[in-house]
Amino acid sequence: MTERVAYTAQRVFDGDAIHENAAVLVTDRAIAGLVSVSEIPDAFPVEDLGRGLLSPGLVDLQVNGGGGVMLGDARSLDDLAAICAAHVPLGTTAMTPTLITDTPETTRRIVALGIEAAAKGVPAFKGLHLEGPHLSANRKGAHDAGLIRPITEEDLTLYLEAAGQLPSLMITIAPETVTPDQIARLGNGGVHVSLGHTGAGYEACQLAVDAGAACVTHLFNAMSPLQHREPGLVGAALDLGNLSAGLIADGIHVDPVAVRVAMKSKRGPGRIFLVTDAMSQTGTDVSSFTLGGRKIFRKNGMLCLADGTLAGADIDLPASMRFLCESVGVDRHTALKMATSYPADVIGLPVGRLRPDRAADMVLFGADFTVERVWLGGKPANSP
């Protein structure tokens, strides 16, 4: 039997625009249309969501862990599913779990788990992000310098085969460790190449972009800064139109003034989008955890190694949007796009927008982006 429902809300954000007093039509767990309240077909029972804002589910392209599990420690499909499940109640219905620099053996294991997750339809799983190991040791951040290494032919074969079996595959590389030819091979094979953890100058970054790199990992962090004689990767990210850039908007990784300057400076069509860089603590109340045998401390909204090095972030996407609006001055409309359609466009998947025939992945926001309800494929998820 066909299931139909029309969800009405004071405001509906479809991924591109905000509509007043609109209705989202859902048929058998998929979006059937977006209409004004006065145009709801008789066949659709109405569920009034009140004065909130109904939005596409949020999209996060940098999720290192959740629910007490780091992706690198995942041994089973249940572990990978637990990471995804920890983020759904926070409004994130599409994510690419992220493996930070690790051994070749661990990388192969996680790629195999990701392929299995895609085949079995793990909720909210939309591919993988491999953040390393082909980075610059001089810009390692919290990554283990002993595991950073050049890319090999065996690596390229693994990545290219995985790209054909995953919904999406993003790989963060440093231009000084991966050649333009290798970047071109990855890009031509369907891999989304992102630049990060690098000391490369503007010219090297431009060569990487010309070869096919289209993204920057956590803008401003673990990269060559913008200087007046050498713009570096920050300068490239803001100047080169084809580059999109992830941003950790917690007020700790990037000062609000720097975010404001970046937002004003960024050339399109590439966009600045939000990422959480979340670790295993998401969805738990732990005060510390381990990362590659090293202890990570959680305090005052920060995650740090013992020496004070930032190690991921302790924030979710709704809080990131709230920070953008309250501390940076970004309008609500733009903040929503930075957490939905902008990252969706980076990986080219049909998420982040309320459009016909797409899965009804939605989130209802109250005031200040508080999450009130979440739907995955039209079915209620574990909302707060």
Contact 313, 303 (CB under 8 A): yes
Distance CA 300, CA 260 (A): 23
Distance CA 21, CA 117 (A): 38
Within 10 angstroms of residue 91's Cβ, the number of other Cβ atoms is 30
DSSP letter for 28, please: T
- Token pair, residue 266, equals 């960024």
What is the sign of the dihedral through the CA atoms of 269, 251, 213 and 351?
Answer: negative
Within 10 angstroms of residue 273's Cβ, the number of other Cβ atoms is 26
Within 10 angstroms of residue 350's Cβ, the number of other Cβ atoms is 12
Helices (H), 212-351: 232-239, 256-265, 317-323, 332-338, 341-347
**In what order do the strands lie in the sheet containing 215-216?**
58-63, 92-100, 128-131, 169-173, 192-195, 215-216, 244-248, 272-275
Distance CA 49, CA 53 (A): 9
Helices (H), the chain: 77-87, 104-120, 153-163, 180-188, 202-211, 232-239, 256-265, 317-323, 332-338, 341-347
Active site residue 361: no
- Token pair, residue 258, equals 């720097």
Contact 132, 103 (CB under 8 A): no
Within 10 angstroms of residue 295's Cβ, the number of other Cβ atoms is 12
Peptide bond into 133 cis (omega under 30): yes
**Active-site pick, 277, 314, 316, 345:** 277
Give me the amino acid identity at 35.
Answer: V
User: Annotated catalytic sites, by residue?
Assistant: 277
